[in-house]
Amino acid sequence: MNGGATFFDEMHEPSGTVRDAYRGYEGWLSEQDAAFLRRKNRDAETLFRRIGITFNVYGAQEAEERLIPFDTVPRIVTASEWRRLSRGIEQRVRALNAFLHDLYHRQEIVRAGRVPEHLFRDNSAWLPNMVGFTPPGDIYTHVVGIDLVRTGPDEFVVLEDNARTPSGVSYMLENRETMMAMFPELFMRVAVESVANYPRRLARSLAACAPPVAKDKPRLAVLTPGIYNSAFFEHAFLAEQMGAELVEGSDLRVEGGRVAMRTTRGFEPVDVLYRRIDDDFLDPLTFNPASVLGVPGMMDVYRAGGITIANAPGAGIADDKAIYSFMPEIVEFYTGEKPLLPNVETWRCADPESCRYVLANLKDLVVKEVHGSGGYGMLIGPAASKAELEAFRKKLEANPASYIAQPTLSLSTCPVFTDKGLAPRHVDLRPFVLVSPEAVEITPGGLTRVAMTRGSLVVNSSQGGGTKDTWVLKD
């Protein structure tokens, strides 16, 4: 852990009094019987299991399907806090989109000496195929997830950006549905912003990015790797909620200069493809020739203006953790403003001086793979054994450019329901952002991930974390 660090409790003041955001909820909670709350927690788990809200964890042997732990105590944010957060999120997302356009065109930020060229030239997420090409509507990041942590009353910082294929929105929606089913009377007492219209907004936002060849009502499809993918529940859920088709690569082919989908009436063109597979598998003629998940020739159709792919191929360069460390410069370069949401202090281990510092302070830092995700391949120094520290030290010394390091943050805590009552657990927040030529829309709330183990700072579901419903209060 963080030595003697104290953590910001989002529900309670240091004196023990309830913060403004939670007063309505606490008033309701104080009237509830403990046995009733325990039963409702069991009911929520049964509901999740019946609906099939699970994910796959890939281990050394075979994939294991798990139920995502869900906690029935909501994470609550006031309207004024959310307005402040939203301004910072929109600023960052606009900067990310401008940065991607610049990287694949004139590279003004590199010419200005604000970002070193080698950061993307030597990066597998950088796609030379996209150089000089502008996606329909000039949108690269149609759906973005910005991971935030809270460290104080007015202190939110960005932990990472997710501009490739951000996941988790189905859990945000199902969490709310579950809470409303379990506690309908609670929503009569506490006025909470709705998240239910996210699928409709997503469909509308994607349709606004359709290529010029599309008809009045663009055809949308969600491209999934298939039922064995860890996020397949989400792919199927979103397709159904959006009124879009759920397709695999085998359902698609290039025909007449378009990407066409198999239907009962034959193959018909798709205008916008919300892909949930990585760049490398999109088109075996352009990327990985062994891929059976994508569509041969799709990139040619894309570059000819025959389809919109969301998010744009090559957008994943913005997820890189070394690029993340330059986000303050990126935001200022493209917006002319200082970032409203700060980054976590970051040491790039590719820099020899920074690497020496990290090696000397390994036990106090969090070290992450530059291209890593899902909590894999990282070291939490304060929680690591001497053997784990030494093993990681060798990996870092062998390949320093593959790692960045950050201080161990004092993540805020929210209460979770346990058999012994409420207990604090660490949380983060992933708001979901929709970007089109017409607007940047931020869903009021997002996915709160919670470390279900006492003292743990790892919130990823693949590492045992759970989720909470996230409430943004109405004014």
- Residue 67: predicted pLDDT: 72
For 402, the domain range is 348-408
- Residue 49: predicted pLDDT: 75
Residue 22 lies in a domain: no
The answer on pLDDT for 71 being more than 50 is: yes
Residue 397 lies in a domain: yes
Task: Give the separation between CA 215 and CA 33, rounded to whole angstroms.
Answer: 56
- Residue 330: predicted pLDDT: 97
Residue 323 lies in a domain: no
Q: How far is CA 100 from CA 340, 362, 393, in A?
A: 20, 33, 33
Count of domains for the chain = 1
3-state class of 14 per DSSP?
Answer: coil
- Residue 375: predicted pLDDT: 58
- Residue 374: predicted pLDDT: 53
The answer on pLDDT for 54 being more than 60 is: no
Task: Give pLDDT tens digits for 382-436.
Answer: 889 999 999 999 999 999 988 999 998 889 999 999 888 899 999 999 999 999 9
| Of 63-72, 360-369, 452-461, 462-471, minimum mean pLDDT range | 63-72
Residue 387 lies in a domain: yes
- Bigger pLDDT: 142 vs 322: 142
| Of 48-62, 86-100, 268-282, 347-361, minimum mean pLDDT range | 48-62
- Bigger pLDDT: 235 vs 54: 235
Q: Is the pTM of this model over 0.85?
A: yes
3-state class of 446 per DSSP?
Answer: coil
Element (H, E) at 200: helix 198-207
User: For the chain, what's the residue count?
Assistant: 475
CATH of the domain at 378: 3.30.1490.270
Band of residue 188 on the pLDDT scale cut at 50, 70, 90: very high
Residue 355 lies in a domain: yes
Residue 178 lies in a domain: no
The answer on pLDDT for 463 being more than 80 is: no
Residue 383 lies in a domain: yes
Task: Give pLDDT tens digits for 238-273.
Answer: 999 999 999 999 999 999 999 999 999 999 999 999
Of 445, 425, 411, nearest to 169 by C-alpha is: 445
- Residue 441: predicted pLDDT: 98
Residue 184 lies in a domain: no
